Amino acid sequence: MQELASLPLFELAFRMVATAAVVMAVTWAVDRFGPLIGGALAGLPVVIGPGFYFLSLHATPAFVGNAASHSLWSLCGTQVFILTYMACARSRGVAMSLACAGIAWAVVAVAVSRLPPAPVVGLAVFAAVTAAAIWLGARLALGTTPARPSIDWTTLIMRGGLAGLLVAVVTAVSSRIGPEFSGIFLAFPIGFGVLAVTLHEKLGAANAIGTLNAAIKGATGLAVFSAAFALLMPHLGYGWSLLLATVISCSLTLALVLRARALSRR
């Protein structure tokens, strides 16, 4: 298998642009529509989808299937990442919140790296973790009052580009360490991390916590994408599996956005 480190510039650039775009779009949505809708949009497979597409160009079907299955375990860690950042942001600054969240994710990632590639079981465990995260997140978000000051778009563009660069580097290295860590790192919550930092600095801790609380449900879109891709690929191949997984994931995200919009009008 060709090393991802030697990927063409176009592929790396595409990943950078995709990550930057989702971070900018979600931050704009928070500023325009509020944390509930912004958090739901964070579950769009804009980053993980292209990641698996490019991985499929350079890896065997078995490798990609195992990676997709392990990304579900990684997304359980994403929920822990989000909760940890929310808890720390209530009383700590950006650097401390991000460091603690990153450590929490790393602990979970190492713990799940030895688990078998079982997409159905992974999705069930993710659902259980998400249910607990929703319960805890609602309590961490109590007492926050989101505000909406203007966003410095120059800083946001630079930070989005940095997020894209980090994604390109992570995915370039991932194939060297096998399908387990490939899937885990493809689902690394870099987008959620940059989003949290941007909102925390520019819109305040309350908005960051509120958006991340909504993002707990939004992350379900990523889990559904990974599960659908892993389950469909042995039967439909790369192309149709990616397409259908994307449609399913985006449909769920749309439903979450519509529900969040309805709740925000009450």
Which amino acid is present at 265?
R
Q: Is it the case that residue 155 has pLDDT exceeding 80?
A: no
For the chain, how many residues are written?
266
Return the percentage of the chain with pLDDT > 90, whole number.
Answer: 17
Q: Which of 63-67, 89-93, 190-194, 256-260 has the weakest average pLDDT?
A: 256-260
Mean pLDDT for the stretch of residues 213-234 = 88
Q: What is the pLDDT of residues 128-151, one digit of tens each?
A: 999 999 999 888 876 655 555 455
> Which residues, other chains included, contact 112 with Cβ-Cβ below 8 Å and sequence gap of 6+?
70, 73, 74, 76, 77, 184
Q: What is the pLDDT of residues 205-222, one digit of tens each?
A: 888 888 888 888 888 888
CA 222 to chain centre: 7
Do residues 222 and 68 touch, judged by C-beta distance below 8 A? no
Structure-block tokens of residue 64: 């990609």
DSSP conformation class of 151: P
Q: Which of 83-92, 191-200, 209-218, 253-262 has the weakest average pLDDT?
A: 253-262
Q: Give the whole-angstrom CA distance, residue 130 versus residue 146.
A: 23
The confidence score (pLDDT) of residue 100 equals: 95
Between residues 59 and 201, the one the model is more confident about: 201
pTM: 0.80
Q: What is the mean pLDDT of the chain?
A: 78
The domain ranges of the chain are 46-57+69-145+155-264
The confidence score (pLDDT) of residue 167 equals: 61
Q: Is it the case that residue 245 has pLDDT exceeding 50?
A: yes
Q: Is it the case that residue 152 has pLDDT exceeding 70?
A: no
Q: What is the pLDDT of residues 8-50, one digit of tens each?
A: 566 667 767 776 676 677 667 666 776 667 666 777 777 777 7
The confidence score (pLDDT) of residue 98 equals: 94
The confidence score (pLDDT) of residue 240 equals: 86
The confidence score (pLDDT) of residue 36 equals: 66
Do residues 185 and 179 touch, judged by C-beta distance below 8 A? no
The confidence score (pLDDT) of residue 263 equals: 64
Q: Is it the case that residue 1 has pLDDT exceeding 50?
A: no
